[in-house]
Amino acid sequence: METNANLQSERNLKGAEFEKTGNLEKAVELYEENVAEGFKGNHPYDRLATIYKNQNDIENEIRILEKAIIVFEEITIEDRLEGLPKLFRFKNRLEKAVHTKTQLAKQKKSKLK
């Protein structure tokens, strides 16, 4: 799928504006479009992971972080060294999110007993 980098950048800018005005639903919609297109920058992944984390939507947080890791693994393979620290950061965030999910599942299970 051919993508338009200018359109994707514009979506990121508009998404940030929507966030500032409190319209998270619209911001998420724009960021998700960029993620679906495999945007090769960290902005939509960072913002979506943070939004989902703040909404206690661990499943979507993990989904976005996994997609970010795939994108930044490709960037790193393409020999773009700036991708490596971001790749490690996304992997670290994913590890924390999975840990949180595991802890929540344990808490839920113990409450059911």
Domain ranges of the chain: 5-112
pLDDT tens per residue across span 13-49: 999 999 999 999 999 999 999 999 999 999 999 999 9
Q: What's the rounded Cα separation, in Å, for the pair 33 and 12?
A: 10
Please tell me the predicted confidence (pLDDT) of residue 103.
93
Of residues 34 and 79, more confidence is placed in 34
Q: What's the rounded Cα separation, in Å, for the pair 108 and 100?
A: 12
Please tell me the predicted confidence (pLDDT) of residue 3.
64
* Topology given in CATH for the domain delimited by 5-112: 1.25.40
Please tell me the predicted confidence (pLDDT) of residue 83.
81
Please tell me the predicted confidence (pLDDT) of residue 78.
72
Q: What's the rounded Cα separation, in Å, for the pair 3 and 69?
A: 19
